[in-house]
C-alpha cells in the first residue's frame, strides 16, 4: 500500500478551504506531540452552509485521490465540523467557536507548516486576520507599555540607591572632617595647657625676682637711714 503524504493533503485541504472563502487557515504539525494524528488543519468559515461546502469539497477531492475518511464529527453541528483522515484532521469552525476553543493555543508547541505564498497573501487580506492582527498589536503595545513602566520604576530605584550611596559617602567624609577637627582641637588644648603651665612658671619666677628686688630696696633704705 502506497504511503499517504499527509503533509501534502494538509496543504491541499488548506487550499480548498481558501477557494471556498474560508479565513485564517493554519496547518499544525503535531507529530511530536500526539499519536492521534500527524497534522491538523484549522480554518474558519462564516456560516453553516460555508462549513458544509468546505467539508464536502475536501471529502470529494480526497475520495477521488483514494483517501478515505476515518471518522466524521459535527455533521449535525452548525458551527464545527471535524474530518479525520488518520494522519490528518481537518477542523472547520465558526469564528465564535474558534475563538472559544483556541486550538492553536491548546497545541501551542506544535510547528506551523508554511502555506503557499498565494494563500498567505489571501489570509493576510482577510478581515478576520486583520482583526486578530489588530488585537495582537494592541496586546503587544500594552505589554510594551508595562515593560517601559517597569524600566522607569527600575531607573528611579537605581537613582534613589545612587543618591543614598552618594549622601552616605558625604556623611562619611563629614565624619572624617569632624574627627580631624576634634583631633586638632585636642592638640590645641594640650598646646594651650602647656603654654599656660610654662607662663605660670615664668610668672612665679618673676614674682620671686620682684620679691627679691623689694627686699633689696628695703635693705637699701634702712642703710640710708642709718647714715
What CATH number is given to the structural domain containing 110? 3.30.460.10
Does residue 207 form part of some domain? Answer: no
CB 63 within 8 A of CB 22: no
Does residue 139 form part of some domain? Answer: no
> What is the count of structural domains for the chain?
1
Cell 493555543, located at residue: 105
Cell representation of residue 151: 524600566
Does residue 84 form part of some domain? Answer: yes
Does residue 175 form part of some domain? Answer: no
Does residue 118 form part of some domain? Answer: yes
Which residue(s) pair with 126 in the sheet? none
Does residue 97 form part of some domain? Answer: yes
Does residue 179 form part of some domain? Answer: no
Helical segments of the chain, H only: 6-19, 48-64, 95-101, 103-106, 117-125, 127-226
Does residue 95 form part of some domain? Answer: yes
Write out the chain's pLDDT in tens, 227 residues: 568 899 999 999 999 999 999 999 999 999 999 999 999 999 999 999 999 999 999 999 999 999 999 999 987 778 999 999 999 999 999 999 999 999 999 999 998 887 765 555 455 555 555 565 566 566 667 777 777 788 888 888 877 877 777 777 666 777 777 777 777 777 877 877 777 777 777 777 766 776 766 666 666 666 766 66
pTM: 0.53
Q: At what angle do helices 117-125 and 6-19 cross, to 10 degrees?
A: 40
Give the whole-angstrom CA distance, residue 207 versus residue 191.
24
The DSSP secondary-structure symbol of 3 reads P
Expressed as residue numbers, the domain containing 68 is 6-125
Give the whole-angstrom CA distance, residue 98 versus residue 158.
46
Amino acid at each position: 500500500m502506497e504511503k499517504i503524504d499527509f503533509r501534502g493533503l494538509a496543504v491541499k485541504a488548506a487550499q480548498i478551504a481558501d477557494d471556498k472563502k474560508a479565513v485564517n487557515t493554519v496547518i499544525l504539525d503535531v507529530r511530536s506531540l500526539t499519536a492521534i494524528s500527524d497534522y491538523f488543519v484549522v480554518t474558519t468559515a462564516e456560516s453553516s452552509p460555508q462549513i458544509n461546502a468546505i467539508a464536502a469539497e475536501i471529502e470529494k477531492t480526497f475520495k477521488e485521490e483514494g483517501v478515505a475518511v476515518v471518522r466524521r464529527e459535527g455533521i449535525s453541528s452548525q458551527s464545527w465540523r471535524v474530518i479525520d483522515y488518520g494522519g490528518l484532521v481537518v477542523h472547520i469552525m465558526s469564528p465564535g467557536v474558534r475563538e472559544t476553543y483556541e486550538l492553536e493555543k491548546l497545541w501551542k508547541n506544535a510547528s506551523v507548516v508554511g502555506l503557499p505564498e498565494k494563500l498567505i497573501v489571501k489570509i493576510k487580506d482577510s478581515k478576520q486576520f486583520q482583526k486578530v492582527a489588530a488585537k495582537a498589536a494592541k496586546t503587544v503595545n500594552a505589554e510594551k507599555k508595562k515593560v517601559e513602566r517597569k524600566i522607569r520604576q527600575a531607573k528611579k530605584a537605581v537613582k534613589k540607591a545612587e543618591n543614598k550611596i552618594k549622601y552616605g559617602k558625604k556623611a562619611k567624609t563629614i565624619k572624617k572632617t569632624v574627627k580631624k577637627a576634634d583631633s586638632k582641637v585636642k592638640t590645641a588644648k594640650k598646646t594651650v595647657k602647656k603654654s599656660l603651665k610654662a607662663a605660670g612658671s615664668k610668672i612665679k619666677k618673676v614674682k620671686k625676682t620682684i620679691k627679691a628686688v623689694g627686699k633689696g630696696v628695703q635693705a637699701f633704705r634702712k642703710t640710708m637711714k642709718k647714715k
